[in-house]
Amino acid sequence: TNGALILFDLTSNATLSHVNNWYDDVIKTAGKVPILIIGNKKDLPYKSAIGDRAKRLCDSLGLDLFLTSAKTGDNMNEVFKVLTKKMMKNPETGVETNG
């Protein structure tokens, strides 16, 4: 079972602008796998406009957005719980598997 995390830096508008390309790369390489978008460095000051733009992008792609801090560990467990749960679902039926 496969899945992907696409990370961008909440303090850098430039990294957010690459998310669409990275999303396309994942789809081309791995096919339809669970993907989560992660805005990292939530522990640092960032402009809420970047977070708002990220939310709109994720909504348009139908993906979940998580704001995290690798430094403090904030929200990291939730990211991996959600990704693991999505990866355990059968992609054709949406039913969780036992393995």
Span 18-29, pLDDT tens digits: 999 999 999 999
Residue type, 28: K
pLDDT tens, position by position, 50-91: 989 999 999 999 999 999 999 999 999 999 999 999 999 855
The CA-atom distances, in angstroms, between 42 and each of 29, 38, 57, 94 are 29, 10, 18, 32
| CA–CA gap between residue 26 and residue 34 (Å, rounded) | 10
| CA–CA gap between residue 12 and residue 60 (Å, rounded) | 21
In the chain the domains, ranked by start, together with CATH numbers, are: 4-88 (3.40.50.300)
pLDDT at position 98 is 44
**pTM for this prediction:** 0.84
pLDDT at position 22 is 96
